[in-house]
Amino acid sequence: MRANKSTVNKSQAIREELALHPDATPVEISKSLKARGVKVEPQYVSTVKFNAQKLKQPKRRTRTMSSVAQRTRAAQMPAGLQEFQEALTFIKSVGGLAKAQQVLGTIEQIGQVL
């Protein structure tokens, strides 16, 4: 079983020392904590200091448009631009401009027969 020792929360001690001396270097904080009886390496002080600063920064989010948002955006486009976008989608779906012209020629021939 684990011995019941009264241990100091080193991270909390570092945060308290940083609050008192925000411009102190990790080595200085390590020395001042050592004088209080808390043995902490400067690297650990740097880690706690970095993580505290990281929490203060706003999180960056990347946005992706859902298919609903894309359709809504397409519906809000001017008519000519929306038709152009649909034409580009058609050209891409058939495999290129030459194929699209062949498909449209075939459709035109069918239209003449009917």
What's 35's DSSP letter? H
Q: Where are the domains of the chain?
A: 10-56, 78-113
Predicted local distance difference test score (pLDDT) of residue 44: 95
Q: Phi then psi for 8, rounded to 5 degrees?
A: -95, 140
Residue pair 77/85 in contact by the 8 Å Cβ criterion: yes
| Residues 58-81: tens digit of each pLDDT | 777 766 667 777 667 666 666 677
DSSP string of 46-97, one letter each residue: HHHHHHHHHHHSPPP------HHHHHHHHHTS-HHHHHHHHHHHHHHHHTSH
Residue 106 structure tokens? 């075939």
Q: pTM, whole model, 2 decimals?
A: 0.46
Predicted local distance difference test score (pLDDT) of residue 65: 64
| Residues 3-37: tens digit of each pLDDT | 555 577 999 999 999 999 989 999 999 999 999 99
Q: State the pLDDT confidence band at 46, using cuts at 50, 70 and 90.
A: very high
